[in-house]
Amino acid sequence: MISCEDTLHDECMGWCPCEQQMAGKMAKRPITGMDDAAGKRNPVFLADFSWWNCYHNQLLVIALLASVVSMALLSLVGGPLAFVWVSIAIGVAIAMIAFAAHFSTWYADIAAGKWRREAVSKIKRLFRCLSGPVFTLIAIIYLGWLIHLGVFDIMGGPFAIIGGIFFAGALINWFAYAMTVRWERQHRLVLIKKWGSWDAVNPAMTDDI
Protein backbone atom coordinates (compact mmCIF):
# COMPACT_ATOMS: atom_id res chain seq x y z
CA MET A 1 0.00 0.00 0.00
CA ILE A 2 1.11 3.56 -0.73
CA SER A 3 0.56 5.92 2.15
CA CYS A 4 -0.64 9.47 1.74
CA GLU A 5 2.70 10.79 2.96
CA ASP A 6 4.59 8.71 0.39
CA THR A 7 2.22 9.85 -2.36
CA LEU A 8 2.66 13.52 -1.50
CA HIS A 9 6.41 13.07 -1.27
CA ASP A 10 6.60 11.30 -4.64
CA GLU A 11 4.40 13.92 -6.33
CA CYS A 12 6.66 16.68 -5.04
CA MET A 13 9.68 14.76 -6.32
CA GLY A 14 8.17 14.49 -9.81
CA TRP A 15 6.45 11.08 -9.68
CA CYS A 16 2.75 10.37 -9.50
CA PRO A 17 1.09 6.99 -8.81
CA CYS A 18 -1.53 7.83 -11.49
CA GLU A 19 1.07 8.78 -14.09
CA GLN A 20 0.24 5.98 -16.53
CA GLN A 21 -3.50 6.57 -16.23
CA MET A 22 -3.12 10.30 -16.83
CA ALA A 23 -0.76 9.67 -19.76
CA GLY A 24 -3.42 7.55 -21.42
CA LYS A 25 -6.01 10.29 -20.99
CA MET A 26 -3.66 12.95 -22.34
CA ALA A 27 -2.94 10.84 -25.43
CA LYS A 28 -6.66 10.83 -26.21
CA ARG A 29 -7.20 14.50 -25.45
CA PRO A 30 -7.99 16.43 -28.63
CA ILE A 31 -6.35 19.58 -29.81
CA THR A 32 -9.09 22.05 -30.57
CA GLY A 33 -9.07 24.49 -33.44
CA MET A 34 -11.08 27.61 -34.01
CA ASP A 35 -14.85 27.45 -34.16
CA ASP A 36 -16.17 27.30 -37.67
CA ALA A 37 -18.73 29.68 -39.14
CA ALA A 38 -21.57 27.61 -37.68
CA GLY A 39 -20.07 27.73 -34.19
CA LYS A 40 -19.19 24.03 -34.10
CA ARG A 41 -16.07 22.72 -32.43
CA ASN A 42 -13.30 21.19 -34.47
CA PRO A 43 -11.55 18.41 -32.53
CA VAL A 44 -8.24 17.23 -33.97
CA PHE A 45 -6.57 14.42 -32.03
CA LEU A 46 -2.90 14.34 -31.18
CA ALA A 47 -2.37 11.35 -33.47
CA ASP A 48 -3.41 13.53 -36.43
CA PHE A 49 -1.09 16.35 -35.43
CA SER A 50 2.03 14.85 -37.05
CA TRP A 51 5.09 16.66 -38.33
CA TRP A 52 4.21 16.21 -41.99
CA ASN A 53 0.58 17.29 -41.55
CA CYS A 54 1.77 20.80 -40.63
CA TYR A 55 1.55 22.85 -43.81
CA HIS A 56 4.62 24.96 -43.02
CA ASN A 57 6.71 21.76 -42.80
CA GLN A 58 5.49 20.70 -46.24
CA LEU A 59 6.50 24.10 -47.62
CA LEU A 60 9.88 23.78 -45.90
CA VAL A 61 10.59 20.37 -47.48
CA ILE A 62 9.57 21.55 -50.95
CA ALA A 63 11.69 24.70 -50.62
CA LEU A 64 14.73 22.69 -49.49
CA LEU A 65 14.39 20.14 -52.30
CA ALA A 66 13.92 22.85 -54.94
CA SER A 67 16.95 24.71 -53.57
CA VAL A 68 19.17 21.61 -53.69
CA VAL A 69 18.10 20.67 -57.23
CA SER A 70 18.52 24.22 -58.54
CA MET A 71 21.93 24.68 -56.97
CA ALA A 72 23.10 21.32 -58.31
CA LEU A 73 21.96 22.05 -61.87
CA LEU A 74 23.19 25.64 -61.93
CA SER A 75 26.61 24.65 -60.54
CA LEU A 76 27.03 21.81 -63.04
CA VAL A 77 25.77 23.34 -66.29
CA GLY A 78 25.66 27.04 -65.46
CA GLY A 79 22.73 29.42 -65.57
CA PRO A 80 20.54 30.53 -68.45
CA LEU A 81 21.01 33.74 -70.38
CA ALA A 82 20.32 37.15 -68.86
CA PHE A 83 16.92 37.68 -70.47
CA VAL A 84 15.78 34.31 -69.07
CA TRP A 85 16.78 35.40 -65.56
CA VAL A 86 14.79 38.61 -66.06
CA SER A 87 11.72 36.58 -67.06
CA ILE A 88 12.17 34.31 -64.04
CA ALA A 89 12.52 37.31 -61.72
CA ILE A 90 9.32 38.86 -63.09
CA GLY A 91 7.44 35.59 -62.67
CA VAL A 92 8.68 35.15 -59.10
CA ALA A 93 7.73 38.72 -58.21
CA ILE A 94 4.21 38.29 -59.62
CA ALA A 95 3.75 35.00 -57.73
CA MET A 96 4.94 36.54 -54.45
CA ILE A 97 2.69 39.58 -54.83
CA ALA A 98 -0.31 37.40 -55.62
CA PHE A 99 0.36 35.16 -52.62
CA ALA A 100 0.88 38.10 -50.29
CA ALA A 101 -2.38 39.68 -51.45
CA HIS A 102 -4.55 36.61 -50.92
CA PHE A 103 -2.93 34.31 -48.35
CA SER A 104 -4.46 35.98 -45.29
CA THR A 105 -8.00 35.64 -46.69
CA TRP A 106 -7.28 32.06 -47.74
CA TYR A 107 -5.90 31.10 -44.31
CA ALA A 108 -8.82 32.82 -42.59
CA ASP A 109 -11.22 30.66 -44.62
CA ILE A 110 -9.26 27.58 -43.56
CA ALA A 111 -9.47 28.63 -39.90
CA ALA A 112 -13.23 29.15 -40.32
CA GLY A 113 -13.63 25.54 -41.44
CA LYS A 114 -14.46 26.23 -45.08
CA TRP A 115 -11.71 23.91 -46.33
CA ARG A 116 -12.45 20.89 -44.15
CA ARG A 117 -13.23 17.56 -45.74
CA GLU A 118 -16.85 17.53 -44.57
CA ALA A 119 -17.42 21.10 -45.77
CA VAL A 120 -16.21 20.49 -49.32
CA SER A 121 -17.93 18.45 -52.01
CA LYS A 122 -16.20 15.38 -53.43
CA ILE A 123 -15.69 17.07 -56.80
CA LYS A 124 -13.96 20.10 -55.27
CA ARG A 125 -11.89 17.89 -52.97
CA LEU A 126 -10.79 15.75 -55.91
CA PHE A 127 -9.94 18.87 -57.93
CA ARG A 128 -7.83 20.30 -55.10
CA CYS A 129 -5.98 17.02 -54.61
CA LEU A 130 -5.26 16.41 -58.29
CA SER A 131 -4.72 19.95 -59.56
CA GLY A 132 -1.12 20.09 -58.32
CA PRO A 133 0.03 16.71 -59.73
CA VAL A 134 -1.82 17.27 -63.01
CA PHE A 135 -0.30 20.73 -63.45
CA THR A 136 3.17 19.31 -62.72
CA LEU A 137 2.68 16.53 -65.26
CA ILE A 138 1.53 18.98 -67.93
CA ALA A 139 4.51 21.25 -67.20
CA ILE A 140 6.94 18.31 -67.52
CA ILE A 141 5.39 17.23 -70.83
CA TYR A 142 5.52 20.81 -72.12
CA LEU A 143 9.16 21.20 -71.11
CA GLY A 144 10.02 17.90 -72.76
CA TRP A 145 8.35 19.07 -75.97
CA LEU A 146 10.30 22.35 -75.91
CA ILE A 147 13.54 20.45 -75.30
CA HIS A 148 12.74 18.18 -78.25
CA LEU A 149 12.21 21.22 -80.48
CA GLY A 150 15.53 22.68 -79.33
CA VAL A 151 13.96 25.89 -78.03
CA PHE A 152 16.13 25.94 -74.92
CA ASP A 153 19.39 25.64 -76.87
CA ILE A 154 19.33 29.36 -77.63
CA MET A 155 18.61 30.19 -73.97
CA GLY A 156 21.61 28.50 -72.39
CA GLY A 157 20.60 24.85 -72.56
CA PRO A 158 17.66 22.83 -71.20
CA PHE A 159 19.26 21.95 -67.87
CA ALA A 160 20.12 25.58 -67.26
CA ILE A 161 16.48 26.53 -67.87
CA ILE A 162 15.26 23.75 -65.58
CA GLY A 163 17.72 24.89 -62.91
CA GLY A 164 16.35 28.41 -63.19
CA ILE A 165 12.79 27.13 -62.88
CA PHE A 166 13.65 25.15 -59.75
CA PHE A 167 15.40 28.23 -58.36
CA ALA A 168 12.23 30.26 -58.92
CA GLY A 169 10.17 27.53 -57.24
CA ALA A 170 12.53 27.55 -54.28
CA LEU A 171 12.19 31.33 -53.85
CA ILE A 172 8.39 31.16 -54.03
CA ASN A 173 8.19 28.33 -51.50
CA TRP A 174 10.62 30.04 -49.11
CA PHE A 175 8.49 33.16 -49.31
CA ALA A 176 5.29 31.16 -48.71
CA TYR A 177 6.97 29.39 -45.78
CA ALA A 178 7.99 32.67 -44.15
CA MET A 179 4.55 34.24 -44.60
CA THR A 180 2.81 31.09 -43.33
CA VAL A 181 4.93 30.88 -40.18
CA ARG A 182 4.36 34.59 -39.57
CA TRP A 183 0.58 34.13 -39.92
CA GLU A 184 0.58 31.09 -37.60
CA ARG A 185 2.52 32.91 -34.90
CA GLN A 186 0.34 36.00 -35.21
CA HIS A 187 -2.89 33.97 -34.84
CA ARG A 188 -1.43 31.25 -32.56
CA LEU A 189 -2.64 28.55 -34.92
CA VAL A 190 -1.04 25.77 -36.92
CA LEU A 191 -2.28 25.01 -40.42
CA ILE A 192 -2.93 21.32 -41.00
CA LYS A 193 -3.02 19.91 -44.53
CA LYS A 194 -4.11 16.35 -45.07
CA TRP A 195 -5.39 14.58 -48.16
CA GLY A 196 -8.33 16.60 -49.40
CA SER A 197 -8.70 18.61 -46.19
CA TRP A 198 -7.29 21.74 -44.57
CA ASP A 199 -7.65 22.93 -41.01
CA ALA A 200 -6.19 25.36 -38.48
CA VAL A 201 -5.71 24.21 -34.88
CA ASN A 202 -4.45 25.76 -31.69
CA PRO A 203 -2.13 23.25 -29.97
CA ALA A 204 -2.37 25.20 -26.70
CA MET A 205 -6.13 24.51 -26.39
CA THR A 206 -7.51 21.16 -25.25
CA ASP A 207 -11.00 19.98 -24.47
CA ASP A 208 -11.73 18.57 -21.06
CA ILE A 209 -12.50 14.85 -20.98
Check residue 81 and give its pLDDT.
Answer: 76
Q: What are 96-121's pLDDT values in tens digits?
A: 999 999 999 989 988 888 888 777 77
pTM greater than 0.95 (yes/no): no
pLDDT band at 36 (very low <50, low <70, confident <90, very high): very low
More confident residue, 128 or 160: 160
CA distances from 61 to 57, 74, 130, 136 (A): 6, 20, 20, 17
Per residue in 142-191, pLDDT (tens digit) is: 777 777 777 676 666 778 888 888 999 999 999 999 999 999 999 988 99
**Residues in CB range of 16: below 8 A, 6 or more apart:** 10, 22
* Highest mean pLDDT, choosing among 37-41, 92-96, 124-128, 199-203: 92-96
Is 34 a residue whose pLDDT tops 90?
A: no
What's the pLDDT score for residue 9? 47
The chain-wide mean pLDDT, for the chain, equals 75
Q: Nearest 5°: CA angle at 104, between 119 and 203?
A: 65
Q: Residue 52 pLDDT > 80, yes or no?
A: yes
92-101 contact pairs (CB < 8 A, 24+): 92/168, 92/171, 92/172, 95/172, 96/171, 96/172, 96/175, 99/172, 99/175, 99/176, 99/179, 100/179
